[in-house]
Chain A
């Protein structure tokens, strides 16, 4: 979807995207030539259809949880208490698809807790890989 400033016949530019509020996202566009601003307010269905593509709306758009198993996670052993992650381990975790990332985090933290680690770093991730025969 693109927006055109009709008087200027110029494409408008996204200025701001607010985080979803009850499923609605507000996107503010402006025309660089005349400065005219307009806002597009999505309804929840529109927001959902777009986020189902696995994208975040807006350059720095916030997305709500995409994990389909949040209900299950809340029932799992809260292994994460006190487990820290190094920046490198966090970076690796970011390669896990967002919709299953909370499950990955929970599983790894459970492994760390069960094996006496207070911090998850690359070595712990590699040790878990060996432990599970992967």
Chain B
């Protein structure tokens, strides 16, 4: 009797064909993207989205064509961070138009089209068991966005990933081996412990991990005009990947993010740190992969 692999085609269901067509569409759409960089962590609340936003701005300022795909389907924030609320999805002649912020950074985020008062809940013919299909549907949604947006020619496409070490791994498989990773942590063992799990998970993939960024590494105090400690100093957990930079927390930046203002605080230490990070990311991603630790 024939086995599965003895039979060509799928008997007419066309499911494999449709999945293949979607993958081909993604490949075509991303053909003009030089570097794919996923910003993840594993840990929630460490500032992945804010850092992604600021890194894109700094890379853009350095002359790079940049865009962000907000891959956090359930908690999209890039629309607010970029000041791109209430935009219609517009189909252009060459695909769905890539919305751009005031700095010229492309931003694709469900938050541009879905009010923050709405939860994302996909229609289902199978009520009560979303745990069996929801993650698949979310990845499909990201795939459909990737495969329909007219990304054009980009130096960097940044993926703002959702939290979860397992999701970091899943996105590595989903985005393919040519996507590099930048991990974000804060200076605490609690966060580093989770990020360490993401590092371990990514070691099981062929993807390159550029290194990590220590976000909220102190806070800028307007009264003493200095960066003060925010977390107890902790270097006990060695992530085993290069540290590419550290960025202090700044209440003014946090307020600007809430308002979706982009041109705020560039005279402050956090921006200098992000500029330095952008340069380091450029140099690292253009260099050959090397074994190194912080």
Binding site for B on A (CB under 8 A): 1-4, 6, 9-15, 17, 20, 22-23, 27, 29, 43-45, 47-59, 64-72, 92-100, 103-104, 107-108, 110-111, 122, 125-126, 128-129, 132-134
> How close is A57's CB to chain B, nearest CB, in angstroms?
7
**Chain B residue nearest to A48 in the complex (CB):** B126
Are A95 and B91 within 8 A (Cβ)?
A: yes
Closest to A29 in B: B11
* Nearest B-chain residue to A65, judged by Cβ: B123
Instruction: Closest B residue to A43 by CB, please name it.
Output: B126
B120 within 8 A of A: yes
Q: How large is the interface on B (under 10, 10 to 19, 20 to 34, 35 or more residues)?
A: 35 or more
**Does A58 lie within 8 Å of B13, measured CB to CB?**
yes
CA distance A49 to B125 in the complex (A): 10
B140 within 8 A of A: yes
Contact A96 B89 (CB under 8 A): yes
> Quick check: B7 and A53 within 8 Å, CB to CB?
no
Q: Is there an interface contact between B96 and A125, defined as CB atoms closer than 8 Å?
A: no
Tell me, in angstroms, the Cα distance from A134 to B82 when the chains sit together.
Answer: 14
CB pair B133–A48 under 8 Å, yes or no, is yes
- Given A54-B22, A67-B123, A97-B145, A129 and B11 contact (CB-CB distance below 8 Å): no
Asked if A96 contacts B11 (CB within 8 A), the reply is: no
Q: With A9-B1, A66-B123 in contact, do A45 and B132 touch (Cβ < 8 Å)?
A: yes
Q: How far apart sit A5 and B285, CA to CA, in the bound complex (Å)?
A: 53
Q: Is the CB of A11 within 8 A of B90?
A: no
Counting CB contacts under 8 A, is B15 at the interface? yes
| 27 A-B pairs with C-beta separation under 8 A | A1-B13, A1-B15, A2-B7, A2-B11, A14-B12, A14-B13, A27-B13, A48-B129, A52-B136, A53-B140, A58-B12, A66-B123, A68-B123, A97-B96, A97-B148, A99-B122, A100-B89, A103-B114, A104-B90, A108-B88, A111-B88, A122-B93, A126-B92, A128-B90, A132-B88, A132-B90, A134-B98
Tell me the complex Cα distance, A59–B18, Å: 10
Residue among A12, A17, A51, A103 making CB contact with B89, cutoff 8 Å? A103
Name which residue of chain A comes closest to B140, CB basis. Answer: A54
Interface centre among B95, B124, B134, B147 (most CB of A within 10 A): B124
Contacting residue for A64 out of B15, B110, B115, B125, CB 8 A: B125
Which 8 pairs between the two chains have the least Cβ-Cβ distance?
Answer: A14-B12, A107-B88, A23-B125, A97-B144, A104-B89, A92-B91, A48-B126, A44-B126
